Amino acid sequence: MTVSPGIGVRPGGTQARQLPGGARPLVVTGAIAAGTVSVSGLGVLTPFVLAGWIAAPRSGAGLMGVLRTASLLWLAAHHVGFALHGTGRIGMLPLGLVLVPGALLWAGGRWVVRAGGLSRLTEVGYAALALAAPYAAISGALALASGSRAASPSPVQAVVAGFLLAFVAGGLGAARAVAPWGRLARLLPPRPRSVVLGTVGSLAVLGAGGAVLVGASIAAHQTEFARLTSALAPGWMGAGLLLLIQLAYVPNAVTWAVCYCLGPGFAFGIHTVVAPTGSALGPLPLFPLLAALPSGGGSVPAWAAAGMLALPYVAGAFGGVLLVRAAPAPAFEIAPLWGFVCGVGTGVVLAVLAAFSGGPLGSARLVTVGPSAWQTGLVAVLEDGVAAAVAAGVANWLFLRRNPPAAGVTESRQPSGEEQADHHIYLDPWADPGDDWDDPEAVPPSPSDLP
């Protein structure tokens, strides 16, 4: 078959016209996408930094300082920490800011697939690598260029974080450009797919509960929230930027709320703790969102604390039921084991989120801020895993009780003696085991065909 230039052949014989860039090497296409994403990201963040510079004219920073600050903010969106000379290291960065480069890299991965004329899922890895490698190099170059006597980001961390984020977000965008979500989900075997569904269900319940807790705490401390905002006297432009910064930290707050419900809680400084059993805090930075932190041991009613501590078990039970409903076949003996595996996945994800949601805020007492990753993961595995195992076992038992799997085989009606005498079954021991007996058009052999 002859294919004209610019025409690709997909599985099944259908033809798909490639974009004009299809003849371009994939390495070049990935480099163009990486550069476009970086420039676009800086273009999105620079106006906000410029607005802050206009709102604070006495900062002493010129236009070069604005560009350096925009570069630092762009690197912070990749969770790249930086050192403030004379102050310490800043590592507690807003998780919500990751959505900006993540969305741009998602679009970049889709463009690489379309411009490169890729049509198979086996080629997605090459597209993600072609985007991630130059993007990591650009991130390292930005870290070197944006360093100054006031702040200096880590070039190594910039390269590693840029590569990982570009490979994951760009790879997902590339995979989605090749195939729909349903086909991508079917790449997993049925049993692991049910475990992933149960894990996502547990995380969704925990995230929803954490968001409700954050909203309720802000509403309960609304007076303190307003007092801190007015104490900053940001002005109308500064108030808008302050609101955007707080929105970017909302995912951190939700993660801390989930850790609070798990039991270990989190710290905001050395020798501090915020947990349902009590809170011990020192002086806090002047940041309005911190008004939502409980101030003492009696700030949370007993019934509310009990409900918070029950949230992980509810989430685990929900994940266990989803696991059984999505399972390919009922298996009473191993259903609790798969439920516990679902809890292990939930604990691993929460441990990663806890690690990235905190970090140092300078030196001295604020060098420890946020939840403990290993404590969060371990407690989540125990609480969520046990609840998911019990719920999966009970749900699977109820399903087997209503639908016995062997009823149609072990309890089938046995033929009577007269029926046995009138009916004969012929078996062909030399039959080809590959014969398609399920084919409705196939003609089964008659007794006369047997040897």
Cα–Cα nearest to 14, from 124, 123, 119, 127:
119
N- to C-terminal Cα separation, the chain: 47
**Helix (H/G/I), strand (E/B), else coil: 293:** coil
Q: Which amino acid is present at 212?
A: V
Could you report the per-residue pLDDT of 95-147, keeping only the tens digit for each? 999 999 999 999 999 999 999 888 898 899 999 999 999 999 999 999 999 88
Task: Choose the weakest-confidence range: 4-18, 163-177, 187-201, 211-225.
Answer: 4-18
Band (pLDDT 50/70/90 cuts) for residue 378 is very high
Better pLDDT: 3 or 94: 94
Band (pLDDT 50/70/90 cuts) for residue 328 is confident
Question: What are the CA-CA distances from residue 100 to residues 65, 211, 382 (Å)?
Answer: 22, 21, 34
Phi, then psi, of 15 in degrees rounded to 5: -105, 140
pLDDT of residue 280: 83
Mean per-residue pLDDT, 417-425: 49
What whole-number distance in Å separates Cα of residue 214 and Cα of residue 257?
7
Structure tokens at 242: 């302050």
Of all residues in the chain, the percent with pLDDT exceeding 90 is 52
What whole-number distance in Å separates Cα of residue 404 and Cα of residue 332?
11
DSSP annotation of 94 = -
Cα–Cα nearest to 316, from 389, 388, 393:
388
Position 7 pLDDT exceeds 70: no
Cβ-defined contacts of 110-114 (< 8 Å, 24+): 110/173, 110/174, 110/176, 110/177, 111/33, 112/26, 112/29, 112/30, 112/33, 112/170, 112/174, 113/173, 113/174, 113/177, 113/178, 114/18, 114/19, 114/177
Question: What are the CA-CA distances from residue 11 to residues 118, 186, 337 (Å)?
Answer: 12, 17, 39
Cα–Cα nearest to 48, from 77, 70, 64:
70
Q: What is the dihedral of CA 31, 34, 36, 39, to 10 degrees?
A: -130
